[in-house]
Chain A
Amino acid sequence: MAVPSSSTPVLSLRGATKRFGGLVAVNNLDFDVMEHQVMGLIGPNGSGKSTTLNLISGALRPSAGSILLRGAPITHLRAHAIARRGVARTFQLVRVLPSMTVLENIRAGAVFGHRRRWGHEADAFATQMAEKVGLAGKLAMRVSQLTYIDTKRVELARALASEPRVLLLDEWLAGLNPTELGEGIALVRRLRDEGRTILLVEHVMDAIRSLCDACVVMAAGAKIAEGTPDEVLSDPEVIRAYLGEEDA
């Protein structure tokens, strides 16, 4: 295996495939996410985007193919081992820890994630991440008291608190109202400007255009296009996949 260098992709999928019985949810998928890159994974509903994130994070095991983190295979590792190697994620349907405060939720990432902290150090870092996502002053609140966007912020801060090598955002902007959406996009842009490596599944086109350096477009489990957002969104095959045959 090659020594990781700046030219080694942070994350690589090679022939990644997931079958559920007869259904091929992800079909022979190849792509690379480079360091400091924000990669968008887009496509119509049911095209296999979330399944792809689940394969990377270890929530599901690939049926075939391999997934590499900085050149080292993580294909058959369990989710906790993948998290420790530096993959952090948010969930399509928000998952926060209901019995805990905002600070404790975020500390979960700081204590058990890629870079592990404990005690005051964990608290200080979790607090710093809370401030970064706009939760300053809400640290002692129970998550049940939060607005929807704030629960999403908690999830994001929990993922950031592990200092991941790559951050997976599964429709992090979905379900936000127009005002919140503006705040959400601005927040992800700040993460991008910090030089973080992000793979995001998204439906919001404004977000894709303004945030992503590159996009992979999926349809029916397979990659149908890859390039900058402007390139792929004007690709006839992509338009056909989104709008159907007759409108193309």
Chain B
Amino acid sequence: MTGQELRALILSTLALAAAAALPALGSSYWLTMGVTIAMYTVLATSWALFSGPTHYISLATAAFFGVGTYTTAIGIELLPYWTLLPIAAALGAVMAALVGFATLRLSGVYFVIFTLGLAEFVRQIITWVQNLTGQKGLYVLTDLTEKHIYWQLLGLAALVYLAGWLIARSRLGFALRIIGDDEEVARHVGIDTALAKIVLFMVPGAVAAVAGAMLAPRYIYIEPSLAFTPMLSFQVVIMALLGGTGRLWGAVVGVIPFTLLWEAISASFPNQTTLLLGVAFLVIVYLLPRGFVGLLEDARRRLGGGGW
């Protein structure tokens, strides 16, 4: 381990410890914000792991998240809560692999549309099944409080960062950088580009499903329109792009300001949230194409720092 890596590890551990101490503040408002921020950090960081290097825009987050939510909602009657998280991860990963197998050989546009449709498709299936059985939703009743959900999400975030760090150092990470630069070259140096993309897409699939499974006890009453809301997919994309997908820590830099801003907007303009979401997206694309990460790196280069 190099000195730089050691420093990053110490800083990350300190940041995680500080974040874990949030419930000690005793403010339920900030704990709620903490859960939202931790959830979007997990979702946006894992999203960027795949979309950063491949440039594929996935709108499937809600589909995986919803599947995870329903894993808890259905499974909680039958199995202990803790066994549901790995089951959700496996379901999310398998679903991502299937989607990847079906679409990742196609060009980016088809992928975007397919992933958007996927969440709607799964939602319609669940609604249909519920109509057959006459249920409208499912209750998830556990002893887990907001604090426990928050800590679980932090643990998941730590795992996502660890996975991202390990992938970046692996052959897979190197293969993805080559694919991102020139897919034709990637194929001709011997990289199975389709396989690399499918394997990588399983990461955000599994992570989003686990996040959904963790959040289910917070919602208490689960119904398809809540679990599979497409807004979730769009928000994850916007937050990840706002932060910047070029660095592992980019997403969180977008998640925190966006969540706070979103909270302020929803409180002051509850009827215009979708409009403002669209405006935020345009601003990011036009003014911050590389996100806050790009802005920070440019500033640092101007100051003569460089080399990181």
| Contact of B188 (CB < 8 Å), options: A89, A111, A116, A118 | A89
Residue on B nearest A158 in the bound complex, by CB: B189
Contact of A113 among B182, B190, B193 (CB under 8 A): B190
A79 touches B178 (CB 8 A): no
Do B187 and A83 have beta carbons less than 8 Å apart? yes
Q: Please, how many angstroms separate the alpha-carbon atoms of A57 and B182 in the complex?
A: 16
Q: Are A95 and B171 in contact (CB under 8 A)?
A: no
The residue among A79, A99, A158 with the most chain B CB atoms within 10 A of its own CB is A79
Q: Are A59 and B188 in contact (CB under 8 A)?
A: yes
1/0 contact string of A90-101 vs chain B (CB within 8 Å): 010001111110
Tell whether B191 is near chain A: CB-to-CB under 8 Å. Answer: yes
- Is A84 part of the contact surface with B, judged by Cβ < 8 Å? yes
Q: Which of A89-133 contact B (CB under 8 A)?
A: 89, 91, 95-100, 107-109, 111-114, 116, 118
Q: Are B184 and A108 in contact (CB under 8 A)?
A: no
Other-chain residue from B174, B177, B193 in contact with A80 (beta carbon distance below 8 A): B193
Query: Would you call B185 and A80 a contact (CB within 8 A)?
Result: no
Most chain-A Cβ atoms within 10 A of its Cβ — which of B180, B186, B193? B186
A162 lies within 8 A of B184 (CB): no
Inter-subunit contact A114/B187 (CB<8 Å): no
Of A95, A99, A114, the residue contacting B184 (CB under 8 A) is: A95
A89 to B187, CA, bound (A): 11
A78 within 8 A of B: yes
Q: What 1/0 mask marks residues of chain B from 186 to 218 whose CB sits below 8 Å from any chain A CB?
A: 111111110000000000000000000000000
With A108-B174, A111-B174 in contact, is A80–B187 under 8 Å at CB?
yes
Q: Would you list which residues of chain A between 142 and 189 have a CB under 8 Å from chain B? A: 158, 162
When the two chains form their complex, are residues B185 and A112 in contact, meaning their CB atoms are under 8 A apart? no
Among A80, A81, A91, A100, max chain B CB count under 10 A is at A80
| B175 lies within 8 A of chain A by Cβ | yes
B182 adjacent to A97 (CB under 8 Å): yes
How many residues does chain B have at the interface if contact means C-beta atoms less than 8 Å apart? 18
Known contacts A97-B178, A99-B177, A118-B171; is-contact A112 B184 (Cβ 8 Å): no
Is B77 positioned at the interface, with any CB of A under 8 Å from its CB? no
Q: In whole angstroms, how far apart are the Cα atoms of A59 and B177 in the complex?
A: 20
Question: Which residues on the B side are within 8 Å of A107 (C-beta)?
Answer: 174
A79–B181 touching, CB < 8 Å: no
Q: CB distance B189 to A83 under 8 Å?
A: yes
Distance of A162 Cα from B187 Cα, bound (Å): 13
Beta-carbon contact of A112 and B190 below 8 Å = yes
Contacts between the two chains (Cβ within 8 Å), count = 71
How near does chain A come to B169, taking the closest CB pair, in angstroms?
Answer: 10
- Contact check, A84 vs B190: say whether CB atoms are below 8 A apart: yes
Which of these, A59, A98, A100, A113, contacts B189 with CB under 8 Å? A113
| Of the residues B175, B177, B187, contact of A100 by C-beta under 8 Å | B177
Q: Is the CB of A97 within 8 A of B185?
A: yes
Interface string of A52-79 (1 = CB under 8 A from B): 0000011100000000000000000011
Asked whether A99 and B181 contact (CB < 8 A) given A108-B174, A111-B174, A112-B175, the answer is yes
The answer to whether A114 and B190 touch across the interface, beta carbons within 8 angstroms, is yes
A57 and B190 alpha carbons, distance in the complex (Å): 11
Please, how many angstroms separate the alpha-carbon atoms of A79 and B193 in the complex? 10
Inside 8 A of A96's CB, which chain B residues have their CB?
182, 185
Q: Are A112 and B182 in contact (CB under 8 A)?
A: no
Residues of A within 8 A of B184 (CB): 59, 91, 95
- Complex CA gap A59/B184 in Å reads 8
A99 and B180: CB pair below 8 A?
yes
A80 touching B190 in the complex, CB below 8 Å, given contacts A108-B174, A118-B171: yes
A80/B191 contact (C-beta < 8 A), A111-B171, A111-B174, A112-B175 known: yes
Could you tell me if B192 and A80 are in contact, using CB atoms closer than 8 angstroms? yes
Bound complex: CA of A116 vs CA of B190, how far in Å? 10
> Do B187 and A95 touch (CB < 8 A)?
no
Query: In the docked arrangement, what's the CA distance between A114 and B191, Å?
Result: 11
A83 to B186, CA, bound (A): 10
Say whether B181 contacts A162, CB under 8 Å. Answer: no
A97 & B181 in contact (Cβ 8 Å cutoff)? yes
Instruction: Determine the distance from Cα of A91 to Cα of B184 in the docked complex, in whole angstroms.
Output: 10
Q: A80-B192, A112-B171, A114-B190 are in contact. List 13 more A-B contacts (CB 8 A).
A: A58-B187, A59-B187, A80-B186, A88-B189, A89-B188, A91-B184, A95-B182, A97-B185, A100-B177, A111-B174, A111-B189, A158-B189, A162-B190
Ordered by A's residue number, 13 sampled pairs between the chains whose C-beta atoms are within 8 Å are A59-B188, A78-B192, A79-B187, A80-B188, A80-B192, A83-B188, A83-B189, A84-B190, A88-B188, A96-B182, A108-B178, A109-B189, A112-B171
Nearest first, the 7 closest Cβ-Cβ pairs linking A and B are A83-B190, A112-B190, A97-B181, A79-B187, A84-B190, A112-B189, A113-B190
